[in-house]
């Protein structure tokens, strides 16, 4: 009998270990900081990457807050902008080129699909990559400059890569997923150039649920659909308030 009980205990421990293992996975955690030249940005982009899935969180530090909701405000030369940080997040699937913004609420969550996901496609095959004899240290790693030239338009993009980090599958610029690990890339907005720099990277165990939608999630394929839903909810609340038939509790003489 004792032997039988021991076997049951061993089985339950093994089963619990297996379930726990299924609920946790090793993922890549990359923190990217954007900044315009001569301007400081308070934003940090936290990317948790597993295969084709990427979970992104915007916050004002290199760490993700666990118990608070923050609004990060940036006032630059182009005006002010603000974003809500944790627990809001982006959920991206590169294989299907889908990008969702997820906003967890108390009783439900809202997931809104981005209509334009063309930036998620891997365009490496349309570019020629030329390694330049220019090196610099970025976040403690020796990086080399690479110029990517579009074969059709001859438009050029520049970046700094680190071959020693090619064991990481994540790429800070998803359109160059065949390139070596990108530590810094540049993007032009009109007359200004914005640099995106990897400030930290590691592999760590995270919950598998990080790459799934919350329970009781409402899905909207367009931002306009979400705005319409908000308007309808406000109208229903107004109608319900106006339709209340409250008794007259004043004393009758």
Which residues contact residue 156 at a Cβ distance below 8 angstroms, ignoring those fewer than 6 apart? 147, 148, 149, 150
The whole-number pLDDT of residue 124 equals 92
**Topology of domain 24-233, per CATH?**
outer membrane lipoprotein receptor (LolB), chain A (2.50.20)
Distance CA 40, CA 27 (A): 29
Per residue in 78-122, pLDDT (tens digit) is: 444 444 455 788 999 999 889 999 988 888 899 999 887 777 889
- pTM equals 0.75
User: Tokens 């439900």 label which residue?
Assistant: 108
Distance CA 24, CA 17 (A): 11
Q: What DSSP assignment string belongs to 85-124?
A: -TT-EEEEETTTTEEEEEEE-SS-EEEEE-S--GGGS--G
The pairing of beta strand 89-93 with beta strand 53-59: antiparallel
> Any idea where the domains of the chain sit in the sequence?
24-233
3-class SS string, 43-76 = CEEEEEEECCEEEEEEECCCCCCCCCCCEEEEEE
Per residue in 172-224, pLDDT (tens digit) is: 998 999 999 999 999 887 778 889 999 999 999 999 998 999 888 999 999 89
The whole-number pLDDT of residue 61 equals 67
Q: Tell me the average pLDDT of the chain.
A: 80
């Amino acid at each position: 009998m004792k032997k039988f009980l021991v076997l049951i205990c061993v089985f339950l421990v093994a089963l619990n270990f297996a379930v726990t293992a299924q609920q946790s996975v090793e993922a890549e955690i990359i923190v990217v900081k954007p900044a315009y030249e001569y301007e400081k940005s308070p934003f940090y982009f936290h990317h948790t990457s597993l295969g084709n899935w990427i979970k992104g969180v915007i916050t004002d530090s290199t760490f993700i807050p666990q118990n608070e909701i923050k609004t990060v405000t940036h006032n630059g030369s182009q005006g002010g902008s603000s974003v809500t940080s944790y627990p809001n997040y982006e959920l991206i699937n590169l294989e299907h080129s889908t990008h969702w913004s997820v906003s967890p609420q108390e009783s439900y969550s809202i997931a809104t699909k981005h209509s334009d996901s063309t930036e998620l496609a891997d365009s490496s095959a349309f570019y020629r990559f030329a390694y330049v004899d220019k090196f610099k240290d970025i976040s403690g790693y020796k990086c080399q400059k690479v110029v990517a030239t579009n074969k059709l338009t001859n438009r050029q993009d520049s970046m700094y890569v680190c071959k020693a980090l090619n064991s990481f599958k994540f790429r800070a610029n998803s359109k160059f997923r065949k390139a070596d690990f990108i530590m810094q890339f540049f993007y032009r907005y009109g007359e200004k150039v914005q640099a995106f720099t990897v400030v930290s990277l590691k592999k760590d165990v995270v919950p598998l649920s990080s790459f799934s939608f919350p329970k009781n999630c409402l899905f909207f394929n367009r931002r306009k659909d979400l705005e319409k839903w908000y308007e309808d909810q406000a109208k229903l609340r107004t109608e319900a308030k106006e339709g209340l038939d409250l008794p007259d509790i004043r004393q009758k003489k």
